[in-house]
Amino acid sequence: MSQSAVFRPQRIAVVGSLATTILGFRGELIKAMVAQGHTVYAFANDYDTQSEADVRALGAEPVSYSLGRFSLNPFSELKSCWQLYRLFKQLKISVSFCYFAKPVIYGTLAAKFAGVPLRVAKIEGLGRAFTIPASGDSLRAKLVRAIQVALYRLSLAHTQHVFLLNADDKADLIDHYQLHTGKVTLLGGIGVNLQHYPRTPAQLNPLRFIFVGRLLSEKGISYFLQAARFVKALHPAVEFIVLGEPDGKHGVSRTELMQYVNDGIIIYPGRVQRVLPYLQQSSVFVLPSFYREGVPRSTQEAMAVGRAIITTDMPGCRDTVKHGLNGFLVPAHSQDALQQAMLQFVQQPELACRMGEQSHRLAAEKFDAGKINQHILQLLQLTAAQASVAQTYLEGQHP
């Protein structure tokens, strides 16, 4: 029997957390699934009328469920698992495709109990539980990590396929803790639609450094702000743009951020709907993250546009830079190294053009969302063919 015969149209649950990630990070994959004739249900916990309409425009059906992103309440988690179980049964799901830590854990368990025959997990970075700050590991962090590993151990054993974005995550999670999983595939990034992020020449007059992302401590926003103040004092004409929403609990507050604005250090348009125009007006993209990234989507977008990159030599981040070719890797938590990397572009602005061209070339090779999504669908098809489970389920349950 051919693989194409086995993987005929499925009822796929794409399970995440926020509607913005469904639309921003899963949109191209959902469209590819729908184009192949699959029925797609997009699960998120914060839909509103507009985001539901946007998901339907992709060809999928939005499904709401509850899941506390940061809650550690076991009763709340069990409630979420039970809710997913009932929805999977009600919608007659034949493939579960869960991404991010909590949806992977509870979505996969719910799929197993609901009898979903093909269960796929996509882990896009190890997140805060595996992120070690400059002050070192705390006892609480070690406890949270141990709990998360235990839950991964429980859930990933019931997958047929696990997608990871970088080799460090496989080594530090799957291999280090000897987790039993389905087939493991490294994707190298979720990719971007290169047509939506066309290459443009780097802006050099004035030279502009840009930070894009959640303004969390782990993303390195404080390092960026301090470097901006340092470089600005030496080279007043250089500009610094910050895009993202402040998080006073886990990062800089709006008050702190506005102080940098009032001091003339940064330009802060806030959280914007379209990042592309700001990337096109920039020279160098900077992400001094020490977060356990998968492969940062914001960096992939900047590379597609043709921007040189400064980022940290950390899992996920290091996968976006060939040091000295399309940018510079700096040690995590090194304020001086970050500042010196910025100064190299100030002193040799032509580097931004040359390295930006290499970034675009690497993005076309490694981060083309169309190629990555087709690879995912081919692997799902192969997994279904090898297991021979999806067709059996459909023939037995959906005459």
Do residue 119 and residue 259 come from a single domain? no
pLDDT of 270 reads 80
50 lies in some domain? yes
* DSSP label of 253: -
In degrees and rounded to multiples of 5, residue 123 shows phi and psi of: -105, 115
Per-residue CA distances from 127 to 70, 141, 238, 295 (Å): 12, 12, 33, 12
Do residue 261 and residue 348 come from a single domain? yes
Alpha helices in the chain (DSSP H): 3-6, 19-25, 27-35, 49-57, 74-91, 101-102, 108-114, 139-156, 167-169, 221-234, 254-262, 276-280, 297-305, 335-347, 350-366, 369-387, 390-397
Its domain, for residue 146, covers 3-191+368-397
Q: How far apart are CA 326 and CA 345, in angstroms?
A: 12
79 lies in some domain? yes
Distance of CA 250 to the CA centre of its chain: 18
Do residue 58 and residue 92 come from a single domain? yes
On whether the CB atoms of residues 372 and 189 are closer than 8 A, the answer is yes
pLDDT for 295 beyond 80: yes
On whether the CB atoms of residues 111 and 96 are closer than 8 A, the answer is yes
196 lies in some domain? no
* DSSP label of 217: G
Do residue 327 and residue 256 come from a single domain? yes
Do residue 176 and residue 31 come from a single domain? yes
262 lies in some domain? yes
With tokens 């001086």, the residue in question is: 336
126 closest CA partner among 157, 101, 109: 101
On whether the CB atoms of residues 292 and 315 are closer than 8 A, the answer is yes
Do residue 362 and residue 372 come from a single domain? no
With tokens 């063919």, the residue in question is: 385
| Average predicted confidence (pLDDT) for the chain | 92
Do residue 234 and residue 355 come from a single domain? yes
Residue 248: strand, helix, or coil: coil
Q: How far apart are CA 94 and CA 11, in angstroms?
A: 5
Other CB atoms within a 10 A radius of the CB of residue 11 amount to 19
136 lies in some domain? yes
Do residue 87 and residue 63 come from a single domain? yes
Note if the pTM is more than 0.85: yes
Do residue 160 and residue 132 come from a single domain? yes
Q: What is the mean pLDDT of residues 263-290?
A: 95
Do residue 62 and residue 112 come from a single domain? yes
197 lies in some domain? no
Do residue 131 and residue 63 come from a single domain? yes
pLDDT of 190 reads 93
pLDDT in tens, 259-271: 999 999 999 998 7
pLDDT for 111 beyond 70: yes
On whether the CB atoms of residues 388 and 118 are closer than 8 A, the answer is no
On whether the CB atoms of residues 284 and 210 are closer than 8 A, the answer is yes
189 closest CA partner among 282, 301, 80, 81: 301
On whether the CB atoms of residues 10 and 37 are closer than 8 A, the answer is no
pLDDT of 387 reads 63
Structure tokens at 245: 């929403």
How many domains are contained in the chain? 2
pLDDT of 2 reads 41
Residue 383: strand, helix, or coil: helix
- Confidence bin at 5 (pLDDT 50/70/90): very low
202 lies in some domain? no
198 lies in some domain? no
Domain of 301, CATH number, reads: 3.40.50.2000
Residues 6+ apart with CB under 8 A from 297: 24, 25, 189, 190, 192
Do residue 362 and residue 378 come from a single domain? no
